[in-house]
Structure 1
């Protein structure tokens, strides 16, 4: 670290730290105390470990247990892959950047990293959108659900999510579509050695925020309001039917409807947490170009970190709401998934 001596407003001598030694265009570095370093690093790496292992358990559970092989869970599986990549690849570099206030991994990796960030965030919102549509058909159109939402359709939707997300993420960064009109501002004022910042012009910030967050978020909220309206109507009809003797088939249908409604509520919570976590970042994404990019980069990184923590919360939500997740966790921890025919174990009653 290169230290430069300077005088503050009171006239006292102060030391200014930079990310790289002997570089005139190096970014300034903010130095924390050793105790603060230790505490913040411990908390952040604990969050990263929870994110990685939590989503890894979701992935192992859905891929291993045959009972969990359903169109909805395939979408949840792919979403967990997105969250795992966010936790294992995206969160460690930004954790270091947040603490050190410097980017030490080079310009080439920064461009690749930002492309992956956009890819995974786009993938998350696309998966959540398709999950919302899946739940809509399961609760509101139960008789035609299995014929419309098939495994083949789900796999095609997952492929569409990933292909579109990769195309959007890498084209924006490598073609510098986000810098059109603000190139001079970026390279002369914002760019310095030791930074990795995604600067967006007014049009790019507005369009990306609308299509990556606000419009899908609004649509998902409307879909879930419709789902809960129908679910309440179904709950009343189930209560009325419970007063009469039911056949075994009718009882099975009632149990299926209850299970689908509970899944819808759980996944609605996932969507709600997603919107809550990413709202500060995408609000800043729209406002920052309008105030001449005066938002401190550290604050943008903090908002981004809070958004990435959505990937930490998702497996915790599954653990809180799904009994099958808790049972699968116990089987994985005790190594029972290595037993013969363990994939056919019942995690919930049909």
Structure 2
């Protein structure tokens, strides 16, 4: 175990000496505007360059990149993507630094497929595009749960129930990485240079309804069962006002509310995918069922308040 910095090229080259495969999962994920754009460019984009340079310097012939469905969509126009695959067309619009930098990093990794590395071999690289990842350790889910507890165990619907969003358990994402790495070794001509959507048997539901699958057993209640508490246009105005306030306060403090126009688009646009390409190319099947994934996540959530109290006592 080596703790390092993906933005430090020489450190990364030293850390990866003698390895067979790199699984590049180091990225800043921020859709709320908490992190400066320059930092995201440095970590997400320049970090990807450094990973490829490490592969070349150390003769590493396999690289799996953790990309995201958000390099494709959903877009701010609320154009739906229903059970699409890697060949499906979509009007991709990158309007925030996170999606811009993830798309740029994915391109760097894929364009490096086939380049010569030290020792005479060639690099085989691919990218995985998980849908919304959940599971133990999920900072976003933990934040929503804590927010609900502060509101007396309640959440308020702000996206339509008819919208469906793909979700995937973190253990199945990890398993797909393992299978993709094997595929790059056994079938580099087939898997190299390819992108793969990553999902599992988790139900396609709205963000709010899926979160309630996990938070409901923890005692959280949803206000606005069938429709948002407020009309969409009013919520959109609130999101725009929150962004304006964020811009005004930026020189003085970090103000990053959960609601902005991008997160509203995420909650208001159907985006679900198929994983048949990964099944065909390297025999991907989810390692954990939906029932197992849900149980593991709920048990982790239930442990959080107790862990917080223990932390305060320490």
TM-score when scaled to structure 2? 0.28
TM-score (normalised: structure 1)? 0.26
Which structure's residues are more often strand, by fraction?
Answer: 2
- The structure with the larger Rg is 1
In terms of fraction of residues, the more helix-rich structure is 1
